[in-house]
Amino acid sequence: MMSPEDIVIYNGVEMRRDYAESLAEAQTLTHYRSGDDLRSRIRFGDETYPMVTHGSGLCPCCDAARSQLHEPLCEREQCPRCFQQVMSCDCDYLTDSACHS
């Protein structure tokens, strides 16, 4: 059972402290790297593909707010190279591919 100290408010919703810390860390991982190729990650709300989440709410998968970066490889994140769903595209980005610029 979680203690009350393990729950925080982040982006206006209650969530586990470790998850909020991970989402905050994701905001510093601004690019995906594959070999020498460095691509800026696409922020929540800036997507241009069919999985766009309309409205002003949080990402239904990772709780990122509009203009924030998703958790790396969130199922709603768009690939900055092929512009498909990053977690299932052929660009072979892994969670470790998310990096600082």
- What is the residue type of 1? M
- Percent of the chain whose predicted confidence (pLDDT) is above 90: 81
Q: Is residue 86 part of a domain?
A: yes
Q: Rounded to an integer, what distance in angstroms lies between the CA atom of residue 20 and that of residue 10?
A: 6
Q: Is residue 7 part of a domain?
A: yes
Does residue 74 contact residue 62 with C-beta atoms inside 8 Å? yes
Q: Is residue 100 part of a domain?
A: no
Looking up tokens 């460095």 gives 38
Does residue 97 contact residue 34 with C-beta atoms inside 8 Å? yes
Q: Is residue 84 part of a domain?
A: yes
In this predicted structure, what is the pLDDT of residue 54?
81
Does residue 76 contact residue 59 with C-beta atoms inside 8 Å? yes
36-84 pLDDT tens trace? 999 999 999 999 988 777 888 999 999 999 999 999 999 999 999 999 9
Q: Which domain holds residue 91?
A: 1-95
Average pLDDT, the chain: 93
Q: Is residue 23 part of a domain?
A: yes
Q: Is residue 101 part of a domain?
A: no
What is the number of structural domains in the chain?
1
In this predicted structure, what is the pLDDT of residue 59?
94
pLDDT bracket for residue 13 (50, 70, 90) = very high
- What is the residue type of 39? R
